[in-house]
Amino acid sequence: MRTRLLAGALIGAAAVLGSVGAEAACTRLAFSVNDYGKVGPTKDALKLLDKYIADWTREKGIKKYSVGKKDVSCELFLDLIVFDEYTCKASAMVCWPGPAPAGVEPASK
């Protein structure tokens, strides 16, 4: 019985130590767009989020990264009866191998 527990503990410790070497960091990035209608700002927020992620990772020296599911939320900014103006925010979790660069607050996956 003790041998099995010890073997299980060693395997568990090896898994933890192995995961430390394969360290990864993530953060949530977002981009907002304010425009008339809802379709236009939704599409623009998604497109500009991709550009923002590419620029942000380049500035931080991150060469390899993955982008999680993108979410978009829109809020009515101005209701002018004839047309409406919305603020749409697109966001996604961005992860990369290695530690977080200085000044970046990591987010939980």
pTM of the model: 0.71
CA distance 23 to 16: 11
Residue with tokens 């900014």: 77
Question: Does residue 42 register a pLDDT over 80?
Answer: yes
Mean pLDDT of all residues in 12-28: 56
Q: Where residue 13 falls among pLDDT bands split at 50, 70, 90?
A: very low
Residue pLDDT, tens place only, 78-106: 877 777 899 999 999 999 998 877 777 76
Tell me which residue of 60, 57, 66 sits closest to 92, measured CA to CA: 66
End-to-end CA distance of the chain: 37
CA distance 10 to 4: 10
Residue pLDDT, tens place only, 44-81: 999 999 999 999 999 999 999 999 999 999 999 887 77
Q: How many helices (H) and strands (E) does the chain have?
A: 2, 4
Ranges of each domain in the chain:
23-97
